Chain A
């Protein structure tokens, strides 16, 4: 009897591992080329205003010092521009299937983390409330299906999907009007968001010629076309200015 249970356990384990292996390739990129980039802002960077959170005491209590707005633009000392969504606009073939691994959009300290992110069409988006207060999550796509969900309780999770590519989908909390986030929905894995150093890296590209588009919520979009060979790493430079 014990042996039978043991065998069943092993069997179930094998099935799970098998399913995992079978699922893995869909998220994998096809090539070995890399496009790196460094994004700068030229001109006087807009000042980041401290966000007033007194409309909700729960939000205010979570921050010992005022949080600076991310909406205006996050610019480093040398003009490094954060929160730029870069994706292959044309030249890449759509992925056969979307990853099953969800992208997480967290509401923590009455703040969306991340502020800008990429996700593939049909990839699950897990929206989490880590705050002991109420949030509504108001997604305002124009091509995809818009939604507005209630997350009144800490720890709540809701999974959503966008079925079509769309640059960009805005998220807004109407309870806390300072909260906003943007998702770039694409149908392939070739996208990235610039970090605090204004750097991004798109890996696993097959050899080819690609049109890259960089999007910033205040400074608009820019494109560059470049060709990469298999195994090659290309560095790109981007410069945004106030519109």
Chain B
């Protein structure tokens, strides 16, 4: 009775952490959109100084300052949210790798803030702006991953994992989808900041689509042993459909701020879903079933 009550309480606390991680992930997604808007509106240099804006904490939000300073303010909030997430995880999470992941996410968001400041002070050198774009996507994936693995039922899914046939090929496919999605975000950032690499971006888009469709097909073939994995694969493929349409529209209408920013945002969703897909396939396909508490706390 007493033990049951304690477990109930710890479940509730785990659920609160999970919900908070979801909130942080949503805020990080908004931050990515705000960052995309800065590039799409060419407002990156509307505020020449950093960390203050025109020597102030709150400059008038006119013209391009609205985008650049708005991005900074949302970034400040997200930085605090991720900091709290790291502390909270450290205090309540039993799995050491989750605590480390949260600490890493916080370190990454701090590095991201420095890169953001540096790119403004150095007048947007493409290398630093591209690094800022890629690290932003990485931070988003880390927070989404934290929201994912802090789900109270997350560890339990491992207890049902069973070795399945063709797992090597499936793991390879899922990993390829994630790597291709990351490559696309990198190439997209190169295009946004230099205007080159449009053709490689298109070629990799087709490779990514093909690999994702094959991956979906393979996952569906084994859906009995991989419950809930098909939904990730479906999301990747459907989002890719949206993203290809957006990509063509951006290509035809390069000055549209809304389209360009939507293309960045959907790209971030694809990468995060691709990472979750690869992660789920990796941990479920071929891993021996994990029933002891110690095994579960170590497994990821």
Contact (Cβ within 8 A) A152 B54: yes
Contact (Cβ within 8 A) A175 B55: no
If the complex has contacts A134-B54, A146-B123, A177-B41, are A57 and B47 also in contact, measured as CB distance less than 8 A?
Answer: no
Contact (Cβ within 8 A) A177 B63: yes
* Number of cross-chain contacts by CB at 8 Å: 60
Contact (Cβ within 8 A) A152 B55: yes
Count class of interface residues, chain B: 20 to 34
List B contacts of A55 (CB < 8 A).
Answer: 62-64, 66
Contact (Cβ within 8 A) B46 A174: yes
Contact (Cβ within 8 A) B64 A174: yes
Quick check: is A38 within 8 A (CB to CB) of the other chain?
no
Quick check: is B163 within 8 A (CB to CB) of the other chain?
no
Count class of interface residues, chain A: 10 to 19
- A 125-150 to B, binary, CB cutoff 8 A, 1 in contact else 0: 00000000110101000000011111
Quick check: is A58 within 8 A (CB to CB) of the other chain?
yes
Q: How far is the CA of A211 from the CA of B37 in the complex (A)?
A: 45
Partner of B123, one of A57, A134, A148: A148
List A contacts of B65 (CB < 8 A).
Answer: 134, 175
Q: How far is the CA of A58 from the CA of B65 in the complex (A)?
A: 14
Q: How far is the CA of A227 from the CA of B30 in the complex (A)?
A: 64
Quick check: is A115 within 8 A (CB to CB) of the other chain?
no
Contact (Cβ within 8 A) B62 A134: yes
List A contacts of B42 (CB < 8 A).
Answer: 174, 177
What secondary structure prevails in chain A residues at the interface with B?
A: loop
Quick check: is A30 within 8 A (CB to CB) of the other chain?
no
List B contacts of A232 (CB < 8 A).
Answer: none
List A contacts of B47 (CB < 8 A).
Answer: 136, 150
List B contacts of A149 (CB < 8 A).
Answer: 48
Residues 147-195 of A contacting B (Cβ, < 8 Å): 147-150, 152, 173-177
Quick check: is A56 within 8 A (CB to CB) of the other chain?
yes
List B contacts of A138 (CB < 8 A).
Answer: 45, 48, 123
Q: How far is the CA of A58 from the CA of B64 in the complex (A)?
A: 14
What secondary structure prevails in chain B residues at the interface with A?
A: loop
Partner of B48, one of A56, A58, A136, A177: A136
List B contacts of A57 (CB < 8 A).
Answer: 62
Partner of A175, one of B49, B56, B63, B123: B63
Look across to chain B and name the residue whose beta carbon is closest to the beta carbon of A152.
B54
Look across to chain A and name the residue whose beta carbon is closest to the beta carbon of B43.
A174
Quick check: is B258 within 8 A (CB to CB) of the other chain?
no
List B contacts of A174 (CB < 8 A).
Answer: 42-46, 63-64, 68
Residues 29-79 of B contacting A (Cβ, < 8 Å): 41-49, 54-56, 59-60, 62-66, 68
Q: How far is the CA of A173 from the CA of B63 in the complex (A)?
A: 10
Minimum C-beta distance from A95 to chain B (A): 30
Contact (Cβ within 8 A) B63 A176: yes
Look across to chain B and name the residue whose beta carbon is closest to the beta carbon of A147.
B123
Residues 51-79 of A contacting B (Cβ, < 8 Å): 55-58
Minimum C-beta distance from B193 to chain A (A): 14
Look across to chain A and name the residue whose beta carbon is closest to the beta carbon of B124.
A148
Partner of A152, one of B59, B63, B64, B68: B59
List A contacts of B62 (CB < 8 A).
Answer: 55-58, 133-134, 175
Contact (Cβ within 8 A) A148 B41: no
Look across to chain A and name the residue whose beta carbon is closest to the beta carbon of B44.
A174
Look across to chain A and name the residue whose beta carbon is closest to the beta carbon of B65.
A175
Q: How far is the CA of A146 from the CA of B45 in the complex (A)?
A: 12
Contact (Cβ within 8 A) B49 A150: yes
Partner of B64, one of A146, A147, A150, A175: A175
- Chain B interfacial positions (CB closer than 8 Å to A): 41-49, 54-56, 59-60, 62-66, 68, 123
Beyond A56-B63, A150-B54, A176-B63, list 9 extra A-B contacts (CB 8 Å): A136-B64, A138-B45, A148-B48, A149-B48, A150-B48, A174-B64, A177-B41, A177-B42, A177-B64
A-B contact pairs, 16 of them (CB 8 A): A55-B62, A55-B64, A136-B46, A136-B47, A136-B48, A138-B48, A138-B123, A146-B123, A148-B48, A150-B47, A150-B49, A173-B64, A174-B63, A175-B43, A175-B64, A175-B65
- Sort A-B residue pairs by CB-CB distance and give the 7 closest, nearest first: A174-B46, A56-B62, A175-B63, A152-B54, A150-B48, A55-B63, A174-B64
